[in-house]
Amino acid sequence: MKKLAKAIGFIGGSLAVVWAMRDRFISVATSREPEPPTFRTSEPKPTVDTIDGIGPVFAERLTAAGLGDLERLASASPDQVAEAASVSVARAKKWIDLAQQSD
C-alpha cells in the first residue's frame, strides 16, 4: 500500500511540474499570438523624390502643388512645375523629361 501511495505521489508530482511549465513548452513550440490579417493593397504610385535632382524640399513643394507623383509631374507644364517648386523652367523641363522616361 505504501508503494502504491509513493507511485501515485510521484506521478502526481511529475504531472504538476509539467502542468506548471506548460506555458514554456507551448510557447516554444507555437506562438499564441494569431497571425495578423494581411490586406491586399495596390502598389503605391512612385513619388517625385525618385527623380534625380528632386530632394525632400522640392518634393514637398511639388506635393503641396498637387504634383506629388510621377504621372502628374510627367503631364504637367514646365511653367507649372517651375512655379510650384520655385525653380527655373529649364530645370522643370528636365524633371518632366525624367518623369516621362520613368513611366
Residue ranges making up the domain that contains 7: 1-33
Collapsed DSSP state (helix, strand, coil) of residue 69: strand
Distance CA 32, CA 15 (A): 22
| Domain count of the fold of the chain | 2
pTM: 0.58
**Which residues lie closer than 8 Å to 1 by C-beta, 6 or more apart?**
none
User: How many helices and strands in the chain, by DSSP H and E?
Assistant: 6, 0
**pLDDT, tens only, 19-61:** 877 766 665 555 667 777 887 777 777 888 888 899 999 999 9
Q: Is residue 38 part of a domain?
A: no
Cβ atoms of 54 and 48 within 8 Å: the answer is yes
CATH code, 67: 1.10.150.20
Q: Is residue 42 part of a domain?
A: no
